[in-house]
Amino acid sequence: MTSDMLGKLRSGVRDVPDFPKKGIVFKDITPILKDGALFRASIDVFLEHCRGRKIDKIVGIDARGFLFGSAVAYELGIGFVPLRKKGRLPYKTESAKYSLEYGEAEMELHIDAITRGEQVILIDDLLATGGTSASAAALIKKVGGELIEAIFLIELEFLHGRDKLAPTPVISFLKY
């Protein structure tokens, strides 16, 4: 990805102050999604990093992780696994509670979503405090997956979320 294209992607991230709570600056990616070239570039940046590697499954985090994760899995020809907010998955699940930059939540994964020993990559739009992805990592391991990397379009570096994911390698493309 050229630095010019990364710059264009960055300019597609809109800051929305005080959403969903006072004091939070929400990184809105809908300007990227609605622009064909930018949406394609936002998928390509993940793909350039993933192509040619041994990856068995992509796990995407509800809901914006689905947008990138499913497109990446489609292009790589591998399976996609949704990690969902509590109460949305119909079959037997493992679950984990976690805290967000702006609240608390619980995540679930189907118990048979990943075959023991499969190499898994976790994808979401944004890494903030790392609470969501750390619980996602715990769930992936609980169902037998080997989490080889967590990849985010955006990282809020000042919140040090990657420390919560250690020792899992963390990759991000737009850092703030």
Which residues are the active-site residues? Answer: 64, 101
- Judged by CB under 6 A, which of 1, 5, 8, 26 binds ligand AMP? 26
Q: Is residue 132 a contact partner of residue 124, using CB atoms and an 8 Å limit?
A: yes
- Is 166 a binding residue for ligand AMP by CB under 6 A? The answer is no
Between strands 146-155 and 170-175, the pairing is: parallel
Q: Is 1 helix (H, G, I), strand (E, B) or coil?
A: coil
Binding mask 99-118 for ligand AMP (x = CB under 6 A): -xx-----------------
Residue that is written with structure tokens 């903030």 in the block: 128
Which range binds ligand AMP by CB under 6 A, 37-45, 50-58, 124-132, 143-151?
Answer: 124-132
84 is a contact residue toward ligand AMP (CB under 6 A): no
Give 51 or 85: the residue with its C-beta nearer to ligand AMP: 85
Pairing of strands 119-127, 14-17: unpaired
- Binding to ligand AMP, residues 4-23 (CB under 6 A): none
In degrees and rounded to multiples of 5, residue 43 shows phi and psi of -80, -40
